[in-house]
Structure 1
Amino acid sequence: MASSPDMSDPVAQNLIIERLATIRRRIAQACLKAGRAETDVSLVAVSKFHPIESVEAALKAGQRLFGENRVQEAASKFPQLRQSFPDLRLHIIGSLQTNKAFEACEIADMIESLDRPSLSDALEKGAQKAGRLPELLIQVNTGDEPQKSGVACEKADAFIETSLERFGSKIRGLMCIPPEDQNPAAHFRLLRQMSERHGLPVLSMGMSADFETAIAENATLVRLGTAIFGSRPAPHP
């Protein structure tokens, strides 16, 4: 596993730049192998638990799309970064509590973890208060794992339909996190087929260990953290 860099060291900043270049090459190669255009796939740099200096190093290397799990942590980094990099985009990719919906509507460009009616209610109210609604992905629990967020597979089609009726074009696609002990390709294929049934263009699937497999199954967003920023520091309490 890549080590976590000391971001006070310019050498560590260069390491992030080098890792990003390596990941971009691998994405390009995976797209070529799958017969897809490199522009079909966007890299979400997952910066959770990493300091703002790490994000700045990635921004200086041309990265503009980032993912954060927790709204509070995202709010501590990205509003100030937008002042220097107004074209950056922020995705909330972790399970979203209903009491954080308003703040998420204020700061996020996309929320990738819509998975239940109570969160739909909270986002609708939060969007009215914030005056904006981010784009939304519906998270599907493709492995039906009780410890994971995401709408259950058997309920997913109905939830997608009601969400489309409620939010219209703000529903952009689907997201999943396959079980660690199973072949991810079957889960990526399931999500792709579900997206095709509903005419949804965005598929967020694939992380550091399996993003090339996800690209072969039509992922349009891949979420990588460790491969770019190194191992995550201990989270703040």
Structure 2
Amino acid sequence: MESAADRLADVQANIARMCKPARREPEDVTLIAVSKTHPAETIVPMLETGHRVFGENRVQEAEGKWPALRERFPDAELHAIGQLQSNKADDAVALFDCIHSLDRPSLLKALAKAMDKADRRVPCFVQVDIGEEEQKGGCAIAELPAFLARARDADIPIAGLMCLPPADTEPAPFFALLAKLARDNGVEGLSMGMSGDYETAVQLGATHVRVGTALFGARG
């Protein structure tokens, strides 16, 4: 069986390989190790490699694992990558260092209020409904400029844009569209690409890739 260090080295090598033709530096791509559904004992070996940026889907699950892990590894950085309920805004602001799923006015309002209360500004990626899929979260493309303006007015730091392309389709056009939307709206960060398509995402400008299976194996 491959060790955590081997799996991490494989993914990092793939990122470096895709950066080359795109004339990018590998260090400009943040690798988020998606540890959702994996128990703490599975996460520790990845932390022991020196990797420090992790992603979790659910507030409750992260609260159950990460306080103890952070006692051992206080410099670990935790990103919220799943859909976030407005009633979990206080918990999310206390726990996470970055949120990737700011996607609707009610959540924007709840996060702004939670950040004011905690006196802590947590950078957020605005999730864009890039494939116009009703079942997925995300701000509609047409509403993106106004939504970004509202977030800035609420003093929410905008880290960039995030997307989940439609399943079973070629992701490249959707990644390219997100990159164009970021340029058009004066936003730099691009959270896009997962285990199956992160190499394509890197080639098209991803600054953050969310990789779980390639680093941890099948979900627990």
TM-score class, shorter-chain normalisation, is: over 0.9
Within-5 A mapping of 1:28-177: 28-167=16-155, 170-177=157-164
1:196 aligns with 2:196: no
Alignment size in residue pairs = 220
Distance 2:54 2:48 in 1: 13
1:207 aligns with 2:194: yes
Within-5 A mapping of 1:220-235: 220-233=207-220
Distance 1:129 1:155 in 2: 28
What percent identity do the matched residue pairs reach? 48
* SS in structure 1 at match of 2:151: helix
1:122-158 deviations in whole A, cap 9, x for unaligned?
1122123323131111000100111101111221222
Q: Is the 8 A contact 2:29 2:208 kept in 1?
A: yes
1:187-218 deviations in whole A, cap 9, x for unaligned?
11111111112221210000111111111111
Distance 1:120 1:43 in 2: 26
Distance 2:194 2:21 in 1: 18
Q: Is the 8 A contact 2:52 2:76 kept in 1?
A: yes
Which shifted more, 132-141 or 89-98? 132-141
Distance 2:7 2:217 in 1: 9
Distance 2:3 2:129 in 1: 34
1:85 shift after superposition: 1.3
Task: Flag structure 1 segments of 5+ consecutive residues without an equivalent.
Answer: 1-11
Q: Which amino acid aligns with 2:202?
A: I
Distance 2:69 2:118 in 1: 20
Which shifted more, 124-133 or 40-49? 124-133
* SS in structure 2 at match of 1:58: helix
- The CA RMSD over aligned residues, in Å, is 1.3
* SS in structure 2 at match of 1:113: strand
1:9 aligned residue: none
Distance 2:182 2:116 in 1: 28
Task: Flag structure 2 segments of 5+ consecutive residues without an equivalent.
Answer: none
Q: Is the 8 A contact 2:112 2:154 kept in 1?
A: no
Which shifted more, 97-106 or 125-134? 125-134
2:5 aligned residue: 17
Distance 2:121 2:43 in 1: 24
Distance 1:21 1:134 in 2: 29
Distance 1:164 1:131 in 2: 16
1:184 aligns with 2:178: no
Distance 2:80 2:166 in 1: 21
1:81 shift after superposition: 1.5
